[in-house]
Structure 1
Amino acid sequence: MAYDFFYNSNSGRITGPPAPLYSPGTQISGNAGITAWIQAGLSAKKIVLGFPYFGYSLQLADANNHGFWAPTSGVKQIKQFIAQNKATHVFNATVVSDYCYSGTTWIGYDDTQSISTKLRRHGDELI
């Protein structure tokens, strides 16, 4: 499982990529997990990297602080928000994940661009 690293309903809420392929400066990413298993002796051919098909919608504490690891103050319904608002979409190539925001609403997810990029960047290394 290479997702849900940053969202925990019991912890202080911050935004975070639901399934980062990379997370510079930390050991919390799909790549870090795969690398650790391979370094521990597991054959790369026995590893399956899972991607989620869901997202999280969070209420930003400050509309001007809308990137990854921004403080939040609550949750929202994703489909309802997207249908009613013109959210700004952001693809973050560093962590290979997406988010969108409008005002103080933030939604983290993976779309076809991030999933296909993850497969291109890391898939060949595992085969």
Structure 2
Amino acid sequence: MCYDYHGSWDTSKTGAHAALFDPNTNLSSIYELKSWLSAGVSGNKLVMDLPLYGKTWKLKDPNEHGVGTAAIGVGPRNAGVLLYSQVVEFNKRNNASVTYFLDTTSVYSYSETTWVGYDDPLTTTMKIGFAQALGLRGYFLWALNYDYESTVNA
């Protein structure tokens, strides 16, 4: 499970909930996976689980919007969670600004005081490449029906 590193339990600042890397903490997929590998678990016994949902926060100041920026609570929807299909709709409906944060291999979008951290096709592809480079057995997505394309054609 390579996600839920940040969320509604910490409403004081935004966070990359599915960070591949985190230069400031152990809350990242690389730390998690390398811990298993260094403990002797073979890569062909590990599968990387990736999320198809984002975590939301309400920004304290709409002019400050980076990862780790001050927040005053969770954003809209179900306890600060948006399915990826809802993230796509949020971005369209609000003409949200989308920013890639390379330090964590994540993406976030924001509009006014709403901030959403999530993975998109590019960051997901990068994480899949990472899983392959580590020689993991594979990867899967939680959950497929959260994806944008699955809702468009439903």
Tell whether the structures are fold-level matches, with TM greater than 0.5: yes
1-side partners of 2:115 and 2:53: how far apart? 14
Conserved in 2, the CA contact under 8 Å of 1:97 and 1:114? Answer: yes
Q: Give 1:72 shift.
A: 1.3
Moved over 4 A (4+): none
Conserved in 2, the CA contact under 8 Å of 1:18 and 1:110? Answer: no
Residue 34 of structure 1 pairs with residue 33 of structure 2: yes
The structure-2 alpha-carbon separation of the partners of 1:3 and 1:107, relative to structure 1 and needing over 3 Å to count, comes to same
Residue 125 of structure 1 pairs with residue 124 of structure 2: no
1-side partners of 2:9 and 2:20: how far apart? 24
Deviations 1:14-59 (A, max 9, x none): 2111211111132111010111111111111111111011112221
Q: Give 1:87 shift.
A: 0.6
Structure 1 gap ranges (5+)? none
Aligned match of 1:84 = 93
Q: Give 1:73 shift.
A: 1.7
Aligned match of 1:103 = 112
Deviations 1:77-107 (A, max 9, x none): 4536434311100111221111001222101
CA RMSD after TM alignment: 1.7
Bigger share in strand: 2
Residue 3 of structure 1 pairs with residue 3 of structure 2: yes
2-side partners of 1:73 and 1:37: how far apart? 35
Structure 2 gap ranges (5+)? 137-154
